[in-house]
């Protein structure tokens, strides 16, 4: 790749990590701690970083195009939490 060539991205524009974050968020969790454990084991990141990435994805139009149901649900949750503050 030369300096003038753009980095190759998947067709929908999201990285594999971004798609994995959204996929993890779609799943149902049996109890407290299960999701955070999956974040560490499956994605190899600490939960704080996971939630930072997830929050940024909620504002990314590519994430909305990739998984509108999950992104819109999480946007509603985020807004209701902001309203409670």
- The sign of the CA dihedral 40, 10, 77, 25 is negative
Q: Tell me: the pLDDT tens digits for 16-70?
A: 999 999 999 999 999 889 999 999 999 999 999 999 999 999 999 999 999 999 9
For residues 1-14, give the mean pLDDT. Answer: 51
User: How far, in Å, CA of 74 to CA of 81, rounded?
Assistant: 11
Q: Is the pLDDT of residue 8 over 80?
A: no
Which pTM value belongs to this model? 0.79
**Residue 14 DSSP SS3:** coil
């Amino acid at each position: 790749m030369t300096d003038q060539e753009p980095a190759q991205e998947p067709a929908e524009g999201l990285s594999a990590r971004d798609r994995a974050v959204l996929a993890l968020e779609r799943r149902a969790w049996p109890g407290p701690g299960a999701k955070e454990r999956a974040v560490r084991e499956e994605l190899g990141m600490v939960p704080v970083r996971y939630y930072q990435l997830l929050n940024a994805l909620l504002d990314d139009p590519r994430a909305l195009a990739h998984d509108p149901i999950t992104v819109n649900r999480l946007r509603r949750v985020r807004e209701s939490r902001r309203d409670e503050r």
